[in-house]
Chain A
């Protein structure tokens, strides 16, 4: 598979009509406290037009509210930190809105735009279609959150189609232990045909990406999940309860229940391929099909686990895994020591 990286937006910092790769749409700039643009820029204020870096808005929600449904409008966040105390909402009448950093950095870097909170909220709720979120650091510092809150909560009130979350950084240090990073669908409302790629999940506390039941045909690829930065361990880095999803090319360093899991409810036809997984906890499973009725293909993964039984587990609730499932071409090792693999040498000889 190709591992293509493509920045799909380019904000016109000269303050022109549109974003170059979102033609037809309007750009609304938002400035963090203390930011002033060059060339007669003023501080952010929601009484500004927001249509140039020189006259930015002060709040992200004000910019979202200015977007026209379906036009391809962009909310471009100028560098800095934005603290929110209520959830940002992209509603059903705000299709094709892009919420992006005005100055994008390459994948896996910490973006220069941070949205943070210490409140018991989701930072971002999305109910519009074809929404793009790109190049933003989400810093979740809520120490007493409602159980199962998600930093980005998609499809709370209606089904969502075509969401993309790309090149974002989820910083979960100091957050409560039962917060998810991204929830695609709540099990009733579905998220379909969506893509999460090139994101970093730093110290996730519960689930990194939760794909809800009925949320099908989603692609989760090329993300990095790193656990055990603090004492909180994730439960799953990716938990997929939907069907027909592709989970590929991710890198997981997990001490939780499992790095990648399918099916709290029965799921079908998910492919888990080419992931690099280190199942570090004593009971951590690399890839887990949680129900015997799950159908899942695991191919070409690299899994290193701490114990013999932790590599790929199809049978936590049954000893008869689905006949339709299979696993092949994976490279696995349990607690390998270097001496088993190579003979140590000195000076390259």
Chain B
């Protein structure tokens, strides 16, 4: 929660009480209040009150101090960016003004039509929450991302969280990913958490976890596809190890709802997801190489074809003996007549 300390007049993020809060204007002017008349956003403001907001998120980051728990708050409205917002300071939070609920669309927007990542994070303990990312990049470099965790420097970072954000891909190019965790085996993000976000009309991969970026938790997200003609490839794709993919809802017509291991990945748990594999060849859960070890349990998977539920063997007929699948509820192209006798008018 954001509060203004009545004693000092200083805004505080109660989750990070020692940090400074910087406000960024979203196109509107804040209300007149005790401290004076709200003024338009400008990077020459100090940003320390909604009445004196900064104009750019980048300036908020410039003013933030690493390791202190500083927070950059985007006020109602939108900011349009033409270059990536680069977060390189530990313990920084980038958030919207309002703590939205599960799967609610935040009213603070970051918009881009420029061929670049929208946010890169090369720091530890960074949190991004309560924001709508509106990606309108119509012609993008292949495999561009909205958020890239660990993008440069051959460094390993840890413990970043993306929570309750809304990713809107209507109007975007067909080969843009949404969140990429780790750039490669040298730029690594460990123990990231992606939770309770909405991925709207994805174009390529929703969440892509790169090899060596391990112990990632992806939970409680809603993925919806085919709002427009662009179909996603994977909603979640992980080459990392020891991950947990839990309680997500996904419907799509691409390659697979959830996949592990373009390179061999080990000991990932995929559980309690609700998956609708709608395409003729869409797979609910796919272990892409035989060496993957994966536990799938307690998922609900409805698929368009018999072979599309859980696929351990796309490249081999000998899946890892260490893998297993249990307690899943699955059906292929179920018609209601299998379950009950069709009726008219309920009689």
Contact = CB atoms under 8 A, between A and B. Distances in A.
Nearest to A167: B101
A300 B200 CA distance: 23
Instruction: Give the residue among B23, B168, B340 with the most A Cβ atoms within 10 A.
Output: B340
Interface string A282-314: 011100100000010101100000011111111
A310 B342 contact: no
A283 B333 contact: no
B339 A20 contact: no
A2 B196 contact: yes
A9 B75 CA distance: 14
A9 B2 CA distance: 10
B33 A17 contact: yes
Interface stretch (A86-94, A118-126, A326-334): A326-334
Contacts of A319: 342
A4 B316 CA distance: 41
Contact of B302 (A9, A25, A328): A328
A274 B247 CA distance: 12
Contact of B53 (A24, A195, A273, A316): A24
A271 B341 contact: no
A297 B26 CA distance: 39
A71 B23 CA distance: 13
Contacts of B57: none
A315 B340 contact: no
A314 B346 CA distance: 10
Interface residues of B, number: 73
A23 B73 contact: yes
Contacts of A284: 346
Nearest to B226: A269
Interface stretch (A77-85, A158-166, A232-240): A158-166
Given A4-B196, A269-B226, A23 B28 contact: no
Interface in B174-206: 195-196, 198, 200
B33 A16 contact: yes
A8 interface: yes
A173 interface: no
B312 interface: no
Contact of B166 (A6, A166, A193): A193
B1 to A, nearest CB: 6
B109 to A, nearest CB: 9
Interface in B272-299: 274, 276, 278
B104 A164 contact: yes
B172 interface: no
A130 B274 contact: no
A321 B251 CA distance: 19
Contacts of A197: 101-102
Interface in A233-253: 244, 246, 248
A6 B1 CA distance: 11
Given A8-B98, A308-B341, A312-B340, A2 B220 contact: yes
Interface in B25-42: 26-35, 38
B103 A195 contact: yes
A11 interface: no
Contacts of A329: 300, 302, 329, 331
A285 B76 contact: no
A326 to B, nearest CB: 4
B224 interface: yes
Nearest to B1: A20
B33 to A, nearest CB: 3
A165 to B, nearest CB: 11
Contact of A309 (B53, B101, B104, B347): B347
Contacts of A164: 100-101, 104-105
Interface in B132-187: 166, 168
Interface in B232-291: 247, 249, 251, 274, 276, 278
A14 B103 contact: no
Contact of B99 (A6, A161, A194, A325): A6
A46 interface: no
Q: Which of A70, A72, A309 has the most CB of B within 10 A?
A: A72
Nearest to A14: B6
A65 interface: no
A1 B247 contact: yes
A4 B102 contact: yes
A327 B50 CA distance: 50
A214 interface: no
A26 interface: yes
Interface in A310-349: 310-316, 319, 321, 323-330, 332
A330 B249 CA distance: 16
B52 to A, nearest CB: 11
B324 to A, nearest CB: 20
A91 B69 CA distance: 39
Nearest to A322: B335
A276 interface: no
Select the residue from A194, A269, A324 with max chain B CB neighbours within 10 A. Answer: A269
Interface string B317-347: 0000000000001110111110111111111
Contact of B4 (A16, A269, A274, A312): A16
Given A4-B102, A18-B33, A24-B23, 15 more contacts: A2-B220, A18-B4, A18-B30, A21-B97, A22-B98, A23-B50, A24-B75, A68-B29, A70-B26, A197-B102, A269-B278, A273-B249, A308-B340, A323-B333, A324-B304
18 contacts: A17-B51, A18-B50, A22-B76, A23-B11, A69-B28, A70-B76, A162-B104, A244-B226, A246-B224, A257-B346, A284-B346, A309-B340, A309-B342, A319-B342, A323-B333, A327-B334, A328-B302, A328-B329
Interface of B: 1-4, 6, 11, 23, 26-35, 38, 50-51, 53, 73, 75-77, 97-105, 107, 166, 168, 195-196, 198, 200, 219-220, 222, 224, 226-227, 247, 249, 251, 274, 276, 278, 300, 302, 304, 329-331, 333-337, 339-347
Interface of A: 1-2, 4-6, 8-10, 14, 16-18, 20-26, 68-73, 95-96, 129-130, 161-162, 164, 166, 193-195, 197, 216-217, 219, 221, 244, 246, 248, 257-258, 269, 271, 273-274, 283-285, 288, 295, 297, 299-300, 307-316, 319, 321, 323-330, 332
